[in-house]
């Protein structure tokens, strides 16, 4: 039986749909982003439903349909033909279009979390529309798309319904195969997939080009056109010849071939190498003579556009060198929306002034962009802004400027783990931290907040582990 869940999965990734149906359950891992998405979908549906009595008053299942409720939820729809089809619309909205059940009909409602209405939204509505014909005597002519940043939009379903038959035929064909479809070209889309670990293992075993840091979907396709199909092929390529071939295909980055070949060779060699032209001298001169350093990490809820925690680990310089991260003092600054940005900025100012001129070490652009943005919004003086700019040191930028790492990513988790750092909460990640934050906001349980603080403190410690490694390479 084909259903709306398999259709959504297949439109995102054909391999995911096959694994959802046939894959071993033990290899499927829940991702916290899924819980965040479900909560956001419910919030958006609830906002849409308020104009029609609210979700709590919506009719349920077939009884809701038969009693002509303004809204109907949890209605399981099935077709009687082949292939067997099943779907459960997010919500049904009563409309004044005559149908087999009276002088009204129903239109399916779907939620979009992104900016655009996609093919998946249109075909999902089309499937529900066709399945509604079992009860309405005809397909629903329109559907509704509910999003964050604009009013709900009606979508005509004639064209998507014509496309649906061919799509379902391809879906059925893929699901009938004995082995999963190939890995998708752009595996950045796999970030929150429940089969990510399984596909990561398959990609590593096959030496897939997507395992090379810096190769996304488009570059993978370009390299395959040049008969470079795996990491070994790329590592064996001549950089100058490869660059000429890439130029002929329209590649604009003149140094790309050398970068990719070096990255592939480094990953196969399992040892970091210095990047050609990366310069000489100390990579972190700001630490020479500094009385101490502040390790800085922000936790954010991107959907809410909220930086809810600024975490600092204070490492003073001792008689010989900086203190070890386990002995450093951790200072969390919670930034609650109801208290306003002004209060958060004042608390940050007080902390930063306690440690004047100490370098602010962070990993990635987020901390620099957000802290400077907050300072500008709070009308910090030009001198204060310049002081912040001088103090902020991006370790990701410094690392990448001089070192090629034997890893398929340069994120803090990958780099610090390779060096040997271990987080106290092995499954902790940004999305899980956001989930803990939302749970704390809803229930105010100390346990949820403590997990966030521990995770952020570990991120600060991991940042110092990277800084210490970079300093060690300077003296090696």
Q: Which token pair is 343?
A: 């209060």
Query: Looking at the structure, do residues 226 and 360 belong to the same domain, yes or no?
Result: no
Tell me which of 161, 176, 191 is where a domain ends: 176
The neighbour count for residue 101, using CB atoms within 10 Å, is 14
In a shared domain, residues 345 and 390: yes
Query: For residue 364, which phi and psi values (nearest 5 degrees)?
Result: 100, 170
- The CATH number given to whatever domain includes residue 465 is 3.30.420.10
CB 271 within 8 A of CB 286: no
Do 141 and 214 have their domain in common? no
The rounded distance, in Å, linking the Cα atoms of 452 and 35 is 17
Residue 383 lies in a domain: yes
Question: For residues 395 and 462, what is the distance between their CA atoms, to the nearest angstrom?
Answer: 11
Task: Mark 334-371 as b/e (b = at least 16 C-beta within 10 Å).
Answer: bbeeeeeeeebbebbeeebeebeebbbbbbbebbbeeb
Residue 316 shares a structural domain with residue 453: yes
Residue 352 in domain: yes
Q: Among 159, 176, 193, which residue terminates a domain?
A: 176
* CATH code, domain with 152: 3.90.320
188 is a domain residue: no
Q: Are residues 20 and 165 in the same domain?
A: yes
Q: What is the phi-psi region of residue 61: left when phi exceeds 0, alpha when psi lies from -120 to 50, beta otherwise?
A: left
Residue 197 covered by a domain: no
Residue 160 sits in the same domain as residue 76: yes
Same domain, 318 and 428: yes
Same domain assignment for residues 124 and 254? no
In-domain check, residue 365? yes
Sheet with 392-394: strands ordered across: 329-334, 306-316, 292-301, 360-362, 392-394
What is the extent of the structural domain holding 63? Answer: 2-176
Q: How many domains does the chain have?
A: 3
Choosing from 239, 270, 301, the residue where a domain stops is 270
Residues 337 and 430 placed together within one structural domain of the fold:
yes
Asked whether residue 257 falls in the same domain as residue 302, the answer is no
279 lies in some domain: no
Residue by residue, DSSP assigns 124-188 as HHHHHHHHHHHHHSS--SEEEEE-SSS--EEEE-HHHHHHHHHHHHHHHHHHTSSSPPPPPS-GG
Q: What is the pLDDT along the chain (476 residues), one digit of tens a residue?
A: 899 999 999 999 999 999 999 999 999 998 898 899 999 999 999 999 998 888 988 999 999 998 999 999 999 999 877 789 999 999 999 999 889 998 999 999 999 998 899 999 999 999 999 999 999 999 999 999 999 888 899 999 999 999 999 999 999 999 999 999 999 887 877 888 999 999 999 999 999 999 999 998 889 999 999 999 999 999 999 999 999 999 998 888 888 999 999 999 999 999 999 999 888 889 999 999 899 999 999 999 988 889 999 999 999 988 678 877 777 899 999 999 899 999 999 999 999 999 999 999 999 999 999 999 999 999 999 999 999 999 999 999 999 999 999 999 999 999 999 999 999 988 888 999 999 999 999 998 999 999 999 999 999 999 999 999 999 998 87
Q: Same domain for 345 and 457?
A: yes
Whether 227 is covered by a domain: the verdict is yes
Which whole-number Å values give the CA distances from 237 to 206, 242, 250, in the listed order? Answer: 18, 7, 19
Residue 461 lies in a domain: yes
CATH number at residue 263: 1.10.150
Instruction: Residue 159: name the closest of 178, 142, 145 by CA.
Output: 142
H-helix segments, 323-429:
341-354, 366-377, 382-391, 395-402, 412-419
Helix H or strand E segment including 6: helix 4-12
């Amino acid at each position: 039986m084909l259903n709306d869940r398999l259709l959504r999965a297949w439109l995102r990734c054909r391999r995911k749909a096959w694994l959802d149906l046939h894959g071993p359950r033990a290899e499927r891992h829940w991702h916290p982003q899924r819980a965040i998405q479900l909560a956001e979908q419910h919030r958006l549906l609830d906002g849409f439903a308020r104009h029609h009595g609210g979700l709590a008053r919506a009719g349920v299942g077939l009884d809701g349909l038969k009693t002509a409720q303004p809204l109907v939820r949890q209605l399981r729809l099935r077709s009687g033909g082949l292939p067997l089809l099943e779907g459960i619309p997010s919500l049904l909205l009563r409309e004044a279009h005559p149908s087999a059940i009276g002088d009204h009909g129903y239109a399916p409602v779907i939620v979009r979390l992104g900016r655009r209405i996609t093919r998946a939204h249109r075909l999902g509505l089309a499937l529900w529309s066709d399945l509604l014909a079992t009860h309405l005597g005809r397909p629903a002519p329109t559907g509704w798309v509910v999003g964050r940043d604009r009013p709900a939009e009606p979508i005509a379903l004639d064209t998507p319904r014509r496309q649906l038959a061919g799509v379902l035929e391809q879906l059925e064909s893929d699901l009938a195969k004995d082995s999963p479809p190939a890995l998708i070209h752009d595996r950045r889309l796999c970030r929150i997939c429940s089969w990510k670990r399984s596909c990561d293992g398959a990609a590593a075993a096959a030496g897939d080009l997507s395992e090379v840091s810096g190769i996304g979907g488009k570059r993978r396709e370009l390299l395959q056109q040049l008969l470079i199909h795996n990491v070994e092929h790329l590592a064996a390529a001549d950089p100058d010849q490869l660059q000429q071939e890439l130029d002929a295909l329209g590649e604009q980055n003149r140094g790309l071939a050398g970068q990719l070949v070096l990255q592939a060779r480094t990953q196969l060699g399992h040892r970091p190498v210095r990047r050609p032209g990366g310069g000489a001298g100390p990579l972190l001169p700001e630490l020479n003579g500094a009385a101490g350093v502040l390790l800085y990490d922000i936790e954010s809820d991107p959907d809410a556009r909220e930086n809810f925690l600024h975490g600092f680990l204070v490492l003073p310089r001792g008689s010989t060198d900086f203190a070890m991260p386990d002995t450093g003092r951790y200072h969390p600054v919670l930034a609650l929306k109801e208290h306003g940005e002004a209060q958060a900025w004042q608390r940050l100012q007080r902390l930063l002034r306690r440690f004047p001129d100490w370098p602010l070490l962070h990993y990635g652009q987020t901390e620099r962009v957000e802290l400077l943005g907050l300072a500008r919004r709070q009308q910090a003086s030009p001198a204060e802004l310049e002081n912040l700019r001088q103090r902020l040191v991006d370790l990701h930028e410094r690392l990448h400027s001089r070192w090629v790492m034997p890893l398929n990513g340069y994120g803090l988790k990958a780099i610090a783990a390779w060096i040997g750092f271990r987080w106290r909460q092995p499954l902790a990640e940004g999305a899980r931290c956001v989930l803990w934050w939302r749970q704390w906001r809803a229930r105010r349980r100390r346990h949820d907040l403590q997990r966030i603080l521990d995770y952020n403190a570990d991120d600060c410690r991991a940042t110092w582990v990277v800084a210490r490694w970079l300093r060690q390479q300077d003296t090696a």
